[in-house]
């Protein structure tokens, strides 16, 4: 068996979920998502045993396109992030009711299918197909099941779709040019091309537009906060927990190895933009009155630091970026779920209308506090491992980059702890805050357990990812 079985399982799961009807859709979706997680763990075991779990087959002859999927430590880490968060996201939604739920949960699984394909594909056109396919389900999830004013929601979602699609067209143009140079779309051949400095600049810039919008990096971030706020919480989790990692992963897998000279030449600018996102996101988060919007800008700050790690072009920077991608995926999903739990009870996302939760639900307060501390990279959490490694790599490039990047810890601690005080402490809200249910507790405990376990013992992830990063560095340093 190979990774194509995983993709087939997700696609069949999406179809089966839709055909199961509205009453059974959520349970069928959860069943298939758990099955794909279990199968991805099996593939990981096969990978460690030395089995070839990748796949290469012909798709089209003219142009030459392959069904090419590569399963190394980097892609498997991203696949495991996707297949582990998907069942958690589906399970967390059981406290909500959705009209036409069969379509809703089918779209969730289809999005997981597209994102998994993006992480595995090593044929440029196949990768582009999966990249674009992931836009379709999140567009409908946010548009149909989102919250707030319908007209505002439509504007935010359409802007996101057009903005992202437009950036991707530049990437497609880059693939077309590279195809003319190599005769196919295989990443391995792209990496071995001898491109001039001018060619590398334009290829790098084309990729950058697609990835900077998806991540997002300043000044391409304007779609993010509104979409995160207007999308249903499941959609926000998919966007922040997994989808933005497609851009970060692609920087490491596609952009830097194909055009390393451009990456080295423009490193100061790239690091400057990334760290500007850290500072901007943190400062804007300080002023937010809506809890989801605050978390959206917090996410912008953290992914800015991850992008900076990618563009250091060092082993520590790339490793740290991957660690932080995984840690951020879990902690931001946990935080958005905590915000959804509060919204279920208080029916508001305004921070000023919350308060007093600690006196009514000490258990939820404790779980939320751990997530907040993980978000600000408290030692002992996996976020600390990622942020420390990235900051160390920035210090190897320039100490000022490390100092400025470190503001995410200081500013993050300030706005997150201030938010915690306003939401959890203070005067009791007039509405009763019922204690967390078993389902809600299970979701939060699993997320926290992951962050604490790998915060204390990150070696398994390091051992998985490092060989693939070293292989990529060979192309970067050629």
Residue 431 has pLDDT above 90, yes or no: no
User: How far from chain centre, in Å, is Cα 366?
Assistant: 25
Cα-Cα-Cα-Cα dihedral sign, residues 349, 351, 353, 354: positive
Residue range 20-32: average pLDDT? 94
Structural domain containing residue 385: 282-290+308-478
Q: Do the beta carbons of residue 293 and residue 274 sit within 8 Å?
A: no
**Alpha-helical segments (H) within 20-55:** 25-48
d(CA 325, CA 469): 14
DSSP 243: I
d(CA 266, CA 262): 6
56: left (phi over 0), alpha (psi -120 to 50) or beta: beta
More confident position, 431 or 438: 438
Q: Which residues of 335-347 are buried (b: 16+ CB within 10 A; e: fewer)?
A: bbbbbbbbbebbe
Residue range 26-50: average pLDDT? 95
Q: Do the beta carbons of residue 424 and residue 346 sit within 8 Å?
A: no
Cis peptide before 216 (omega within 30 of 0): yes
d(CA 57, CA 411): 49
In a domain, 331, yes or no: yes
In a domain, 378, yes or no: yes
Q: What are residue 68's phi and psi, to 5 degrees?
A: -115, 120
User: How far from chain centre, in Å, is Cα 214?
Assistant: 10
Q: Do the beta carbons of residue 323 and residue 382 sit within 8 Å?
A: yes
Query: What pLDDT is attached to residue 232?
Result: 93
In a domain, 315, yes or no: yes
Average pLDDT of the chain is 92
Residue 76 has pLDDT above 90, yes or no: yes
Query: What pLDDT is attached to residue 95?
Result: 83
Q: Binning pLDDT at 50, 70 and 90, where does residue 375 land? A: very high
Taking alpha carbons only, the member of 134, 135, 172, 128 closest to residue 157 is: 135
Residue 429 has pLDDT above 70, yes or no: no
Residue range 402-428: average pLDDT? 87
d(CA 195, CA 321): 27
DSSP 240: I
57 forms beta bridges with 67
In a domain, 338, yes or no: yes
d(CA 385, CA 400): 20
Query: What pLDDT is attached to residue 430?
Result: 67
d(CA 3, CA 129): 17
Percentage of residues in the chain having pLDDT higher than 70: 99
Cα separations (Å) of 404 from 271, 308, 395, 410? 11, 11, 10, 10
Q: What is the pLDDT of residues 232-258, one digit of tens each?
A: 999 999 999 999 999 999 999 999 999
d(CA 40, CA 28): 18
In a domain, 456, yes or no: yes
d(CA 356, CA 140): 36
DSSP 290: B
Query: What pLDDT is attached to residue 147?
Result: 85
121 forms beta bridges with 69
Neighbours of 166 (CB within 10 A): 12
Residue range 369-392: average pLDDT? 94
Neighbours of 238 (CB within 10 A): 28
d(CA 396, CA 148): 46
Query: What pLDDT is attached to residue 1?
Result: 75
Q: Binning pLDDT at 50, 70 and 90, where does residue 60 land? A: confident
**Alpha-helical segments (H) within 121-191:** 124-133, 135-145, 150-182, 187-191
Neighbours of 154 (CB within 10 A): 14
d(CA 325, CA 249): 9
Q: Do the beta carbons of residue 145 and residue 238 sit within 8 Å?
A: no
Q: How many CA atoms lie within 13 A of 351 on its CB side?
A: 22
Q: Do the beta carbons of residue 107 and residue 141 sit within 8 Å?
A: yes
Residue 296 has pLDDT above 80, yes or no: yes
DSSP output for 324-340 = HHHHHHHHHHHHHHHHH
More confident position, 173 or 429: 173
d(CA 142, CA 156): 9
Q: What are residue 57's phi and psi, to 5 degrees?
A: -150, 155
Percentage of residues in the chain having pLDDT higher than 90: 73
Query: What pLDDT is attached to residue 428?
Result: 66
d(CA 330, CA 347): 24
In a domain, 446, yes or no: yes
10 Å CB burial of residue 431 (0-12, 13-18, 19+) is middle
DSSP 430: S
Residue range 315-339: average pLDDT? 96
350 forms beta bridges with 290
In a domain, 325, yes or no: yes
DSSP 3-state assignment of 406?
A: coil
Residue 327 has pLDDT above 90, yes or no: yes
Residue range 424-437: average pLDDT? 79
Domain count, the chain: 1
Q: Binning pLDDT at 50, 70 and 90, where does residue 341 land? A: very high
Q: Which residues of 349-383 are buried (b: 16+ CB within 10 A; e: fewer)?
A: bebeebbbbbebbeebbebbebbbbbbbbbeebbb
d(CA 7, CA 336): 27
In a domain, 133, yes or no: no
Query: What pLDDT is attached to residue 103?
Result: 95
């Amino acid at each position: 068996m190979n990774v194509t079985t995983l993709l087939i399982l997700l696609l069949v799961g999406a179809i089966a979920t839709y055909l199961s009807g509205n009453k059974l859709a959520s349970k069928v979706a959860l069943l298939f998502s758990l099955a794909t997680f279990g199968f991805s763990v099996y593939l990981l075991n096969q990978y460690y045993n030395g089995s070839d779990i990748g796949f290469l087959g012909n798709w089209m002859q003219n142009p030459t396109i392959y069904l090419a999927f590569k399963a190394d430590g980097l892609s498997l880490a991203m696949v495991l992030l996707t297949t582990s968060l998907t069942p958690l996201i589906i399970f967390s939604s059981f406290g909500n009711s959705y009209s036409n739920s069969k379509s809703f949960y089918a779209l969730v699984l289809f999005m997981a299918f597209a994102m998994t394909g993006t992480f595995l594909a090593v044929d440029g056109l196949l990768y582009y197909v999966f990249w674009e396919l992931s836009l379709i389900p999140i567009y409908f999830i946010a548009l149909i099941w989102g919250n707030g004013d319908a007209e505002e929601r439509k504007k935010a979602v359409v802007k996101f779709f057009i903005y992202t699609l437009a950036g991707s067209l530049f990437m497609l143009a880059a693939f077309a040019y590279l195809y003319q140079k190599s005769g196919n779309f295989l990443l391995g051949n792209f990496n071995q091309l001898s491109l001039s400095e001018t060619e590398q600049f334009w290829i790098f810039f084309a990729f950058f537009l697609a990835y900077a919008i998806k991540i997002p990096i300043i000044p391409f971030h304007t779609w993010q906060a509104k979409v995160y706020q207007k999308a249903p919480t499941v959609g926000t989790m998919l966007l922040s927990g997994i989808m933005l990692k497609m851009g970060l992963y692609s920087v490491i897998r596609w952009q830097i190895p194909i055009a390393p000279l451009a990456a080295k030449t423009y490193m100061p600018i790239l690091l400057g933009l990334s760290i500007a996102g850290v500072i901007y996101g943190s400062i804007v988060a300080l002023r937010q009155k809506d809890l989801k919007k605050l978390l959206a800008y917090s996410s912008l700050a953290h992914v800015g630091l991850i992008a900076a790690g990618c563009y250091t072009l060092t082993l520590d920077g790339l490793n740290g970026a991957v660690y932080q991608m995984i840690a951020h995926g879990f902690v931001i999903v946990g935080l958005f779920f905590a915000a959804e739990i509060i919204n279920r009870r208080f029916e508001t996302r305004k921070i000023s209308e919350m308060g007093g939760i600690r006196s009514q639900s000490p258990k939820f307060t404790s779980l939320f506090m751990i997530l907040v501390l993980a978000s600000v990279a408290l030692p002992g959490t996996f976020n600390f491992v990622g942020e420390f490694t990235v900051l160390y790599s920035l210090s190897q490039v320039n100490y000022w980059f490390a100092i400025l990047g470190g503001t995410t810890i200081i500013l993050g601690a300030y706005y997150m702890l201030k938010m915690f005080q306003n939401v959890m402490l203070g005067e009791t809200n007039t509405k009763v805050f019922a204690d967390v249910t078993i389902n809600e507790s299970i979701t939060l405990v699993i997320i926290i357990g992951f962050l604490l376990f790998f915060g204390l013992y990150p070696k398994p992830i390091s051992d998985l990812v490092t060989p693939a990063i070293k292989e990529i560095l060979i192309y970067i340093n050629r």
